[in-house]
Structure 1
Amino acid sequence: MIVLQGYLALTVFIYAFGPWPWPTKRPEILYLFLIVVQIALLIGYGIGLKAAPRAYDGRWRVKTLIKISLFLNLIWILPNFASRSGQTAVSWASLIQQVVMGLSDPGQSYRDRIEAAANLQDTSALGYLTQVVSPLLWLMTPLCVYFWSSIPRSTKILFVAVVSVDLITWVALGTNKGVFDFALMLPCLILAARPHLIARMSGVTVIKGALAVALIGGLLFAQFSTSLKGRAGGEVSAFDYSAGIALDFDNWLIAPLPSGIQASAGALMSYTSQGYYPLSLALNEPFVFSKGVGNSYYYTGIVQSFTGPDTISDLTYPARIEYLGWSRWTKWHTIYTWIASDLSFIGVPFFVFAIGFLLARTWRDSLVCANPFAIALLPLLVLMVFYFPANNQVLGFSRTANAFFALLFLWLFTRRRVRQ
């Protein structure tokens, strides 16, 4: 929670004092709201920690779950790539070709993916099947990392191979999301499996950890910069047309940096904080109920397949501030803006409180009871919180939303009280 609170506070700090002069509407209301939601997250987490953990009472053995998930992930390597690239079908030859293109020209790969996704009319039968098995697909990484010391060598080799191919396919598509998500999940799972690392932390350990984070962060930033330059034709844009503002190269956060990476650093700061600008706009709009599904692209799409296009999506806050120039589709909106479309901004702190509570309970069940469904649910909650400034990352999309609710049910269903 210290890490999460620090990260969220850092994004607000970058928004307020960073190199982008956002024309914030009523900043006092915005910052008061952000303070309230972070306190709600902290209180929810603190209350969740007080509850006693419960033992795993499920019939599913961990080794069996790992085997099933690993087997399905092997089968789904090509379907995963097809769905991410917006193609109806792919082969190993086309995958390899796309990987080569993604490494040599990530910008073109990204544009090809966007164009293919735009031309895709309907979800295929395999796409629907993927949504059904997504909870099982999700299990592989959390369980393999957590139980790494006890799984067979053959399982380790297959897991590393599947993850490596999966990360390469993300690079092949000219996007960084999958690589970043994996880098984010890994440390929380390692610490959940080995909490003694925190208890035995020393000054040397902190220095080594900081160096490792700096190295990994540097590699991710290099990939991020390369992808941005490829998308923009060789130069990162220093102007945000939606807000009508330009990057301030004299800002103290980027001025000391080499000129070659200032624009990329500015773009990264925009990515992590730009969602607060439309939040300030939305806070001044009246509440319109979006039928309980307006917070999620996925669930909005399902309901609108029966009610007609735009019948619900036009009711959301991101849609209703588009007249101010900020797109609901191509720009970031905080999770708070999406959730408020159903709960109102008064209800958002209660939602954030619940997420903090769930995070604490799954963290404790992972540490004490090794409940496999708590272990798998934990990184989803961590990802959700880390994407708070950007979007409703977990509940907004089919695979992670289905995995979240299925694992939440299985975790609650397989818990029993520990006898004192």
Structure 2
Amino acid sequence: MLGTFGAFWLGPMAHLVENPGKLCAFVFSATGAFAVGYLACTRRAAAEGMPAPDSPRMRTVHRLVILGAIHYGALGVAYLREYGATGPGSILASLQEPATAYANKFQIYDVQQTTGGANPAVQVLTLLAVFSTALVPLLVLYWRELSVAARTAGITGIALYSVFFLYIGTLKGLGDFAIMAAAGLLLASGRRRAGHATGSRLTRKRILTIVLFGLFCWYLINTQADRTDLFGTTDKARPNATVEQVLGPHLATGVTAMVLYPTHGYLGLAYNLDTPFEWSRGLGSTVAISSYAAQYLNVDPGEHPSYLERTEARTGWPADLYWATVYPWLASDLSFPGTVGLMALVGWVFARTWREATVQKRVLPGVIFTQLCILIAYIPANNALGTRPALIGLATLFACYLGTGVVRWHRRLQQAYAPVRPALPRPLIRGGDAHR
């Protein structure tokens, strides 16, 4: 969590920060609160002792993988049709020009905002977004236990959804897949340390993850270089002379832009920290809530602007174009001190779901842990779990988690206070009575 913050201070935007003390104090406080929450949960868990692991229900795992594959596949096809894909030829053309495809998608955004049109298929699939949260981590954790049909369906669903993001030249979906795969690998490693997995399987998973991560970085470097050329932002990603001499101008620009990509949000955070707090009435922390309020309740989000919007009006830092980390999003409704407190809660839940997923081998906490990994990975960028599908999926997961928690607590209560039946005296058998 502090790695990108340290990289920011080594980058070309660090000298633009006018309040370095305030920026460092807040980032260290938020990260420290996360660590305190994490340690508090682990110490409490250690005092409670090691629970017995659950036996995973593979039939349930198979169903979740199949449903997740269907959801991803259907959503990928629906998005491709909505964004103008007419066939393999148009998709291939966009793959060859990712920067142009990235620019073209904003035209679709403008049309959607102007007409207010909604795709019924996308709306239904958004409400069922919880099914997509389990696919990738379960594929990583239970690859060998899954049937060939389930594996094939899972890979096909991921591929169709990835094609859509490649078609619009956007990295968000691919990045989410990479994070969820890494989280699944982390859970597998945790289970191995708890005695539930073999090292040989994890070695192959690590190699595959490294290869996929390398491909993602290669794609990121090339797309970032193309974007700087298309949008004329080469001056903001000017590479080091040595790097440019070794890699060439194009790749060197892409590498520099890739370094700036996950770090420039801290400059936006610095601007937001100097903006006075005004409560956004619950509309500023997530895009999902503000958009639903505007669509169905006729609420104008502009009446209660978020931190990012007010900072844009004050400083000119564009709220929709550049990042400002996740913290101003949360602070729009919680304030920055409240955001520090929320990070402590996130750390506590992060540790609890990790323990339940690795030691107890529970499926649901592992899926929630994966979603929290996405939240943490996007801390330097924005509220990644604030979109409609992500928020609905996370809310559904926590509802199921709380429901199963109540059921488990009720069962423990019944076992603890179950009446103890006294043992009946054993009748004595004598002589001929034994044959009656």
TM-score using structure 2 length: 0.80
| Structure 2: distance between partners of 1:405 and 1:55 | 28
Compute the displacement of 1:237 (Å).
3.0
Do the aligned partners of 2:283 and 2:301 also contact (CA within 8 Å) in 1?
Answer: no
Shift in alpha-carbon separation, 1:227–1:219, aligned structure 2, 3 A: same
Match of 1:125 among 120, 126, 150: 120
Does 2:160 align with 1:170? no
Q: Which residue of 2 aligns with 1:145?
A: 140
Do the aligned partners of 1:238 and 1:247 also contact (CA within 8 Å) in 2?
Answer: yes
| Structure 1: distance between partners of 2:121 and 2:219 | 31
Equivalent position amino acid for 1:239 in 2: D
Q: Which residue of 1 aligns with 2:6?
A: 13
Equivalent position amino acid for 1:350 in 2: G
Compute the displacement of 1:84 (Å).
6.7
Do the aligned partners of 1:236 and 1:263 also contact (CA within 8 Å) in 2?
Answer: no
Q: Which residue of 1 aligns with 2:381?
A: 390
Compute the displacement of 1:81 (Å).
4.0
Equivalent position amino acid for 1:258 in 2: L
Compute the displacement of 1:136 (Å).
2.0
Do the aligned partners of 2:283 and 2:290 also contact (CA within 8 Å) in 1?
Answer: yes
Shift in alpha-carbon separation, 1:289–1:101, aligned structure 2, 3 A: same
Equivalent position amino acid for 2:280 in 1: S
Shift in alpha-carbon separation, 1:247–1:210, aligned structure 2, 3 A: farther
Q: Secondary structure at the match of 1:359?
A: helix
Q: Secondary structure at the match of 1:295?
A: coil
Match of 2:175 among 175, 180, 185: 180
Match of 1:403 among 393, 397, 405: 393
Compute the displacement of 1:218 (Å).
3.6
Do the aligned partners of 1:362 and 1:378 also contact (CA within 8 Å) in 2?
Answer: yes
Match of 1:277 among 267, 283, 292: 267
| Structure 2: distance between partners of 1:213 and 1:79 | 24
Moved more, 33-42 or 217-226: 217-226
Shift in alpha-carbon separation, 1:213–1:20, aligned structure 2, 3 A: farther
Shift in alpha-carbon separation, 1:403–1:95, aligned structure 2, 3 A: farther
Q: Which residue of 2 aligns with 1:67?
A: 63
| Structure 1: distance between partners of 2:344 and 2:363 | 24
Do the aligned partners of 1:69 and 1:139 also contact (CA within 8 Å) in 2?
Answer: yes
Shift in alpha-carbon separation, 1:64–1:197, aligned structure 2, 3 A: closer
Does 2:24 align with 1:31? yes
Shift in alpha-carbon separation, 1:256–1:24, aligned structure 2, 3 A: farther
| Structure 1: distance between partners of 2:240 and 2:162 | 33
Q: Which residue of 1 aligns with 2:424?
A: none
Do the aligned partners of 1:294 and 1:300 also contact (CA within 8 Å) in 2?
Answer: yes
How do 1:2-401 residues align onto structure 2 when only pairs under 5 Å count? 8-49=1-42, 50-51=44-45, 52=48, 63-64=59-60, 66-67=62-63, 70-71=66-67, 73-74=69-70, 77-83=73-79, 86-87=82-83, 94-120=86-112, 121-195=116-190, 197=192, 215-233=211-229, 237-240=233-236, 247=238, 249=240, 258-260=247-249, 261-305=251-295, 306-312=297-303, 315-323=305-313, 324-394=315-385, 396-401=386-391
Query: Between Structure 1 and Structure 2, which shows a larger proportion of helix residues?
Result: 2
| Structure 1: distance between partners of 2:17 and 2:61 | 48
Shift in alpha-carbon separation, 1:360–1:206, aligned structure 2, 3 A: same
Q: Secondary structure at the match of 1:370?
A: coil
Q: Deviations over 1:279-317 (max 9, x none)?
A: 1111111110011231101101112332433335x5211
Question: Which of 1 and 2 has higher RCO (CA within 8 Å, sep 6+)?
Answer: 1
Shift in alpha-carbon separation, 1:54–1:288, aligned structure 2, 3 A: farther
Do the aligned partners of 2:78 and 2:122 also contact (CA within 8 Å) in 1?
Answer: no
Equivalent position amino acid for 2:235 in 1: F
Moved more, 43-52 or 213-222: 213-222
Compute the displacement of 1:234 (Å).
6.2
Q: Secondary structure at the match of 1:150?
A: coil
Q: Which residue of 1 aligns with 2:422?
A: none
TM-score using structure 1 length: 0.83
Do the aligned partners of 2:133 and 2:371 also contact (CA within 8 Å) in 1?
Answer: no
Shift in alpha-carbon separation, 1:357–1:255, aligned structure 2, 3 A: farther
| Structure 1: distance between partners of 2:131 and 2:207 | 35
Compute the displacement of 1:31 (Å).
0.5
Q: Which residue of 2 aligns with 1:4?
A: none
Compute the displacement of 1:67 (Å).
2.1
Matched positions, count = 397
Do the aligned partners of 1:22 and 1:277 also contact (CA within 8 Å) in 2?
Answer: no
Identity %: 21
| Structure 2: distance between partners of 1:10 and 1:236 | 28
Equivalent position amino acid for 1:112 in 2: N
Mind listing any 5+ residue stretches in structure 2 that lack a counterpart?
Answer: 196-200, 417-436
Shift in alpha-carbon separation, 1:316–1:136, aligned structure 2, 3 A: same
